[in-house]
Structures are given as C-alpha cells and as structure tokens.
C-alpha cells in the first residue's frame, strides 16, 4: 500500500468487576489479526466505578505501519455491510479532527465476530494523518471501512 495514511490506532476496553480480565483481553483478538497480537501491548489502568467497584481499563496504541494496516484490513473484511453503512451514515458523528471512532461489541468479539455497539464496547480510535473529513472518508472508502 505504500505509505499508510494512518498515524496510529488506539484500542481500549473496560473490564468490570463482574468480568473475567482474560476474557476481556481475549475479545480484542477478534480485532487484531493473530500474527500481529504479540506486537500490541495493553497497558492496564485500575479505576473505581461510581459505587467504588473496581474497573480495569486496558489500552494499547499501535504505531507500527504493518500492524495498523493489518487491523484496518481485518476490520474492513469482518464488519458487515450493514455496519459499514452505519459508520458512513454516522460519519460526521464518529469523526473528530482526523480521528475516526468505532465501538465494537465485546461479547460478539469473544465469538470472533465484529459488530458495532454502544454499550460496554471495545473502543477503537483510528487517527488519520489527514484532518479534513472528505479526505478521511476517501481513505476509509479505499480501505473498505465504509462503502
């Protein structure tokens, strides 16, 4: 693909007290292709919920071009046409100064399926080198994230 038009990808998710940390981390395996898993390191941050319950936030920042390309290709191949159309419909809401935000269902990801969701998601932030919405949309179209 030559020079990749993405600066980095951030992936984050919460593990609530009632959830198994390992399962939460495993859900992200549906987002990152297996051959790139060892290149992505999650930092663990301990937080407290509204009622003092322990919450762990896992976050990784991917800067390596081949891994970025693999994740984006994986997303484009595994998101349904319907979800891609939804990202396109909501593009202006999902885009902020060159960053595209996508939320994926953790439970579906555990079953190796990628689906958009709102509640308790895997947060994905794709930071493009371009800032203009039109240019980012063009790149997303070329990469297969939107139709």
Output the pTM of the full model: 0.95
Q: What is the mean pLDDT of residues 30-37?
A: 95
Q: Which of 9, 4, 3, 144 minimizes the C-alpha distance to 80? A: 144
Query: Phi and psi of 55, rounded to 5°?
Result: -135, 140
Domains of the chain: 6-143 (3.30.1440.10)
pLDDT higher than threshold 60 for residue 1: no
Confidence band, pLDDT 50/70/90 cuts, at residue 3: confident
**What does the pLDDT look like over 92-142, one tens digit per residue?**
999 999 999 999 999 999 999 999 999 999 999 999 999 999 999 999 999
Tell how far CA 23 is from the center of its chain: 17
Cβ distance 124 to 103 under 8 Å?
A: yes
């Amino acid at each position: 693909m030559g020079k990749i038009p993405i600066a980095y990808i951030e992936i984050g998710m919460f593990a609530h007290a009632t959830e198994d940390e390992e399962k939460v981390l495993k859900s992200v395996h549906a987002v990152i292709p297996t051959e790139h898993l060892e290149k992505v390191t999650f930092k663990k941050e301990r937080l407290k919920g509204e009622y003092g319950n322990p919450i762990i936030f896992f976050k990784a920042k991917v800067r390596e071009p081949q891994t970025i390309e693999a994740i984006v290709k994986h997303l484009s191949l595994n998101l349904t046409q319907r979800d891609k159309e939804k990202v396109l419909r909501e593009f202006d809401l999902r885009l902020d100064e060159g960053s595209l935000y996508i939320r994926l269902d953790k439970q579906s990801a555990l079953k190796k399926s990628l689906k958009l969701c709102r509640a308790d998601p895997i947060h994905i932030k794709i930071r493009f080198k371009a800032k203009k919405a039109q240019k980012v949309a063009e790149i997303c179209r070329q990469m297969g994230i939107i139709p």
